[in-house]
Amino acid sequence: MEDLRAYEPGSSSGFATTSERYSNQMVARKEKRLPTVEETNVVGMKNDVEAVKGKLLEGAMERVVVAIWGMGGLGKTTLAKKVYNDRDIQNHFCYRAWVYVSQEYNIRELLLGIANCVTTLTDEQKRKNENELGEEVYKCLQGKRNLIVLDDIWNTDVWRGLSSYFPAESNKSRVLITTRREDIVVDAHSDCYKLQLLGEKESWELFLNKVGTRAVLTWPGLEEFKKEIVAKCKGLPLTIVVLGGLLSLKDLTRDSWLKVLKSMDWHLSQGPDSCLGILALSYNDLPSYLKPCFLYCGVFPEDSEIKATKLIRLWVAEGFVQKRGKETLEDVAEDYLYELIQRSMIQVADTRDDGRVKSCRIHDLLRDLAISEAKEEKLFEVAENIDVEVLPTSVRRLISSNISQTNSPHLKNSNIRSLILNRSIDEGDEIGRLPPSIGRFVNLQTLDLGYNVIQIPHTIWKLQQMRHLNCYNCRISSRQSMRERSEGLSTSTTILFPGLECLYKLHLVGTIRKLPVETTLYPPNLMQLKLLYTKMEEDPMPILGRLPNLRILTLLQDPYVGTEMNCNHEGFLRLEFLQMQELWSLEDLSVEEGAMPNLKTLKIKCCDKMRKFPDGLLQLKKLQRLNLYEVSQELMSEVLETQGEDWNRIRHIITSQVPPPIRGY
């Protein structure tokens, strides 16, 4: 289903600076180890933490803005995080909220981020505009001692835009900002803490921590070595961890380390900024399979949290991941991720309970490097808006941060394979429109428009190569619905995907109400379909049952508002996986004989009005897994207590969870 083509040799030639032999050895040698979460390995900072804590805990009753100021890569975010998670701080403040600001900030999104830290917003609240959301935040924070962290501010307008939404009460509330710009420190009238570079001792300690070995301590001439490394990194933690990460993966011999340091001299001679030189060196040292993966991280907005599963899926889809024995490509990709983390090229943002990485983040200096290298390698280009009149035709992937200015009819680069909108446009902005000439991108395989409200023209049907289409809030016009809309008759959205033969997987999020009835209007090879929040009013099963290649169907979060569903005789002939979740009104699901003969997994979750287990499911010979979670007591009792051979078989494969005694609390 996925495109497993290897990374194209043409464009990968630039990635082969390190020998393949070395990289293959690396993979063989490296056992699957989980990267350590950085916060636990912080060196020094004790005094810094105490000083900032002091500013937050003591002093004036009025709201005070405290700033951590210093250059990029110095550890401002690390320090702020340590303070934020400190027990005394947690005990002192009633509410704490943290948002990453970055250069591409949007006040409404920041408010949303803050609100999400202190309350649970309803869907309706989430749709509010900046002012209304600001009022919600204000109401929430009012009367409570709170700490708001605004990490990495670049623009004085951020604090000016936000400050009125935070109550200025006399209750010792605090705002903690981090920034590398002095004018912001001054403009916010903040109490400033200037973070210093690490001293020689701490630099060396951090370096050894990252390298993960103390064996070097026995090397002859160690002092010289130590001096050189400390001098090159100039006390900047980011440089130290990146260099340490690089050396931690080299053979533990003096010679191999000296070689790296020598090559560093060349990089340092390229520009005045040693930090950037070391970062460039570590990029160049990446094995060829990791280079495109690292560069691809530049696609994501600055300071954004990147879900590991999403990143891995994208790498695989882009063909960056090489087959390795019997391992799945996703497993290999996860190793790639860990290697980039080990090298400190990517940071861990969050981990799962089992210690695996849940999400990650790229430091903005490394992101800048990724974007400029990606342009050089022609891997992707980041454009202000997607009027690509001026782009060379060699560009294959285009990342844009602005789609509201795309009315230009001039999209003409037919070589583009991926078009990704990497940030959302303001609420209240006009609906963005993709120009009809999008139909000329005959090689387009990935169109990712995020959560933006965008009108897609009907010429999209011409894109026969399309594989990944993410358009959560888009209106896709058919000729007919365009006409209807122009007459002001239709407010509904018609979704049609005929002729997209390569589209196998489709996720649709948002109100649809009614699916098109004609199966010829769906992608003919559709295998996976996920419908979320669609609030369909008519039973979708008779229609979906007729999609000839559908194998995985997921209906989630209020997909259907009716009370009955019927899976017809001979419907869903190839379906193997069915998940039905949060169909709050569903009372009766019936499965006729002969339907879903190939179903292997069925998950029914949070459908608490369903009182009866569908008889038709008892006949399914291939059913291997049945999950029932938060279903009604009646349904559970029926399944657990009814006598008979078929019921015994069902009980054998069931995993369930008895509903909690009181719902809604």
Residues forming contacts to ligand ADP in the complex (CB under 6 A) are: 38, 41-45, 70, 72-78, 206, 237-238, 241, 344, 347, 363
User: Which one of Mg ion, ligand ADP, none is in contact with 478 (Cβ closer than 5 to 8 A by kind)?
Assistant: none
Identify which of residues 80 and 311 has a Cβ nearer to ligand ADP in the complex. Answer: 80
In the chain, count of helices (H) and strands (E)? 23, 25
Least separation in angstroms between residue 209's CB and ligand ADP is: 7
User: Which one of Mg ion, ligand ADP, none is in contact with 237 (Cβ closer than 5 to 8 A by kind)?
Assistant: ligand ADP
**Of 50, 55, 97, 51, residue with least CA distance to 190:** 55
Least separation in angstroms between residue 62's CB and ligand ADP is: 27
Least separation in angstroms between residue 72's CB and Mg ion is: 7
Identify which of residues 77 and 481 has a Cβ nearer to Mg ion in the complex. Answer: 77
Q: By three-state DSSP, how is residue 93 classified?
A: coil
Candidates 12, 52, 70, 77; binder of Mg ion (CB under 5 A) is 77
User: Which one of Mg ion, ligand ADP, none is in contact with 85 (Cβ closer than 5 to 8 A by kind)?
Assistant: none
If binding is defined by CB under 5 A, does position 106 make contact with Mg ion? no
Least separation in angstroms between residue 72's CB and ligand ADP is: 4
Q: Phi/psi zone of residue 121: left (φ > 0), alpha (ψ -120 to 50 degrees), beta?
A: beta
Per-residue contact flags (x/-) with Mg ion for residues 28 to 67, judged by CB under 5 A: ----------------------------------------
Query: What is the Cα 553 distance to its own chain's centre?
Result: 23
Least separation in angstroms between residue 178's CB and Mg ion is: 6
End-to-end CA distance of the chain: 42
User: Which one of Mg ion, ligand ADP, none is in contact with 617 (Cβ closer than 5 to 8 A by kind)?
Assistant: none
Question: Rounded CA gap, 53 and 43, in Å?
Answer: 17
If binding is defined by CB under 5 A, does position 302 make contact with Mg ion? no
Closest residue to Mg ion in the complex (CB): 77
Question: Rounded CA gap, 556 and 610, in Å?
Answer: 16
Query: Strand 601-605's sheet: what is its strand order?
Result: 381-383, 397-400, 418-421, 446-448, 468-470, 505-509, 528-532, 552-556, 577-581, 601-605, 625-629, 654-657
Least separation in angstroms between residue 303's CB and Mg ion is: 7
Whether residue 585 contacts residue 610, with contact meaning beta carbons closer than 8 Å, is answered with no
Q: Which residues, other chains included, contact 117 with Cβ-Cβ below 8 Å and sequence gap of 6+?
A: 95, 96, 97, 98, 99
Identify which of residues 47 and 170 has a Cβ nearer to ligand ADP in the complex. Answer: 47
User: Which one of Mg ion, ligand ADP, none is in contact with 583 (Cβ closer than 5 to 8 A by kind)?
Assistant: none
Identify which of residues 159 and 320 has a Cβ nearer to ligand ADP in the complex. Answer: 159
Least separation in angstroms between residue 57's CB and ligand ADP is: 21
Q: Which two tokens stand for residue 593?
A: 């004989």
If binding is defined by CB under 5 A, does position 152 make contact with Mg ion? yes
Identify which of residues 208 and 391 has a Cβ nearer to ligand ADP in the complex. Answer: 208
Q: Which two tokens stand for residue 103?
A: 């250069």
Give the range of 20-28, 144-152, 274-282, 487-495 binding Mg ion by CB under 5 A.
144-152
φ, ψ for residue 118, nearest 5 deg: -110, -10
- Strands (E) across 533-600 are located at 552-556, 564-567, 577-581, 588-591
Torsion angle, alpha carbons of 201, 205, 207, 211, to 10: 150
User: Which one of ligand ADP, Mg ion, none is in contact with 78 (Cβ closer than 5 to 8 A by kind)?
Assistant: ligand ADP
Please report, as ranges, the residues that interact with Mg ion according to CB under 5 A: 77, 152
